[in-house]
Amino acid sequence: MLFSVIIVNYNVAPWLEQCLLTLRLAAGAQRCEVIVVDNASHDESRLLEARFPEVRFVWLTENGGFAKACNAGARMASGDWLLFLNPDTLVTPALLSGIAAAVAQRPQTGAVGLRMVDGRGLFLPESKRGMPYPFAVFFRLTGLSKLFPRNSVMNHYYLGQLDPQQKWPVDILAGACMAVRRQVFEMLGGFDEQFFMYGEDIDLSWRIRQAGWENLYLPQPAIVHFKGESAAGDLQSNRHFYEAMVLFSKKHFGDRLKTLQWLQQQAAKLAGGWRLHRRSRQQPAAVSRHWWLTGEAAAIASLEKRLPAYITAAKTAASADRRVVCIAQGTGLEAFIAEGGTEKCPTCFYVMGANYVTGSDDRRRGGELFRLK
């Protein structure tokens, strides 16, 4: 079985670098090709081409959106399975072998999604989702779903009644890490390019279900997703999200639920305004000075030699203002995911060989970034 890993990049070179380094570890025993489609970035992304000769880089001259770039990468791919992966992710060594083992036992599977945790180690509920009927989206946007997190009706959007530690067939998978059987992807015509950013994964997942295939959610292997780094998180990003929800509703429900769709649109506007208000009031995070280095010994030793001048290595968690998980062969990342977010010290990550330490503990502030010597 050959995997084609397709990554759409836009101005997140430091996160992409670490993602590709962890992919090298995952590709060890499993046949794969890696294609990076760049949506006209203007950062240091082009410098990565020389560092990763095994990766095929495609440099687009304009940003036509996530769905369009994914489709462009898929046309160049030759794998039996197309794994669409966000650049702001860290993957474990079992990524590809775990997916391969799962689908070998379930020939009806058309797509696979994985359990994702954020930069704090907390489960990301969008890893598994139900069909976003207008009432489900309304409950989610108004915050009512949070009052009843395990209710199958009030929290249908995130399938709150399903244990995230178990394997499930679900309606919707997340495009941040979504493996699609090539035969199914081509049969359905790929991602709908009407969706510029957000919503394209929901639309494709539902069309896979409608075509009679299964969307499989796997709790293991899991990945880290620095939610929001590959999107700007600004007004434009929020607008794309809510426009995508409305577009999906109109496409799949038409005019049958006009009143509920109107309520959904109003809730989307209110939610977007509230999020931007909260972000504008957020104080900048204090720059960390004392790092507690955990993880794999080889990576810790590597990082100690490259610490920025203003950083000192703390001896204990109590004396640190930042924890850095150091990854060499992948066991450090696996241990972090297994913690389940119990460690309270803010966390960043270093993959041995990378030029940056990255992290994302607060979704409203965006990610942290430290350049190394």
Task: Check whether residue 294 and residue 219 sit in a common domain.
Answer: no
* pLDDT at 295 (0 to 100): 97
pLDDT recorded at residue 43? 95
Whether residue 146 lies inside any domain: the answer is no
Q: Are 264 and 242 in a shared domain?
A: yes
- Domain shared by 353 and 206, yes or no: no
263 and 187 co-located in one domain: no
**Do 169 and 199 have their domain in common?**
yes
Query: Would 210 be classed as within a structural domain?
Result: yes
Q: Are residues 120 and 220 in the same domain?
A: yes
Do 193 and 267 share a domain, yes or no? no
**What is the pLDDT, as a whole number, of residue 273?**
59
Per-residue confidence (pLDDT) for residue 18, from 0 to 100: 97
Q: What is the pLDDT of residue 134?
A: 73
Quick check: is 155 in a domain? no
pLDDT at 52: 97
Domain end: 207, 225, 243, which one?
A: 225
CA atoms within 13 A on the CB side of 63: 13
- 142 inside domain: no
CA R_g for the chain: 20
Question: What is the C-alpha to C-alpha distance for residues 58 and 63, in angstroms, rounded to an integer?
Answer: 12
pLDDT tens across 301-342, in order? 999 999 999 999 998 888 999 999 999 999 999 999 999 999
In a domain? residue 83: yes
Establish if 269 belongs to a structural domain. Answer: yes
Q: Are residues 115 and 22 in the same domain?
A: yes
Answer whether residue 188 is part of any domain: yes
Task: Return the pLDDT at 343.
Answer: 86
Question: Is residue 241 domain-shared with residue 221, that is, in the same domain?
Answer: no
Phi, psi of 349 (to 5 degrees): -135, 145
Last residue of a domain, one of 225, 244, 262: 225
Instruction: Give the domain extent around 245.
Output: 235-281
Instruction: Specify whether 264 is located in the same domain as 362.
Output: no
Of the three residues 178, 205, 225, the one that is the final residue of a domain is 225
Q: Would you state the pLDDT for residue 284?
A: 46
The domain that holds 194 is classified in CATH as 3.90.550.10
296 and 276 in one domain?
A: no
In a domain, 218, yes or no: yes
Look up the pTM and report it: 0.88
Are residue 102 and residue 184 in the same domain, yes or no? yes
pLDDT (tens place) for every residue of the chain, 373 residues total = 689 999 999 999 999 999 999 999 998 768 899 999 999 999 999 999 999 999 999 999 999 999 999 999 999 999 999 999 999 999 999 999 999 999 999 999 999 999 999 999 999 999 999 988 777 877 877 788 888 998 998 999 899 999 999 999 999 999 999 999 999 999 999 999 987 777 899 999 999 999 999 999 999 999 999 976 655 445 455 555 666 666 666 766 666 555 555 665 665 566 555 555 555 544 445 677 899 999 999 999 999 999 999 999 998 888 999 999 999 999 999 999 999 999 888 899 999 999 999 986 554 445 688 999 9
**Secondary structure of the chain as H, E, C letters:** CCEEEEEEECCCHHHHHHHHHHHHHHCCCCCEEEEEEEECCCCCHHHHHHHCCCEEEEEECCCCCHHHHHHHHHHHCCCCEEEEECCCEEECCCHHHHHHHHHHCCCCEEEEEEEEECCCCCECHHHCECCCCHHHHHHHHCCHHHHCCCCCCCCCCCCCCCCCCCCEEECECCCCEEEEEHHHHHHCCCCCCCCCCCCHHHHHHHHHHHCCCEEEEEEEEEEEECCCCCCCCCHHHHHHHHHHHHHHHHHHHCCCCHHHHHHHHHHHHHHHHHHHHHHHHCCCCCCCCEEEEEECHHHHHHHHCCCCCCCEECCCCCCCCEEEEEECCCHHHHHHHHHCCCCCCCEEEEECCCCEEEECCCCCCCCEEEECC
Domain count, the chain: 3
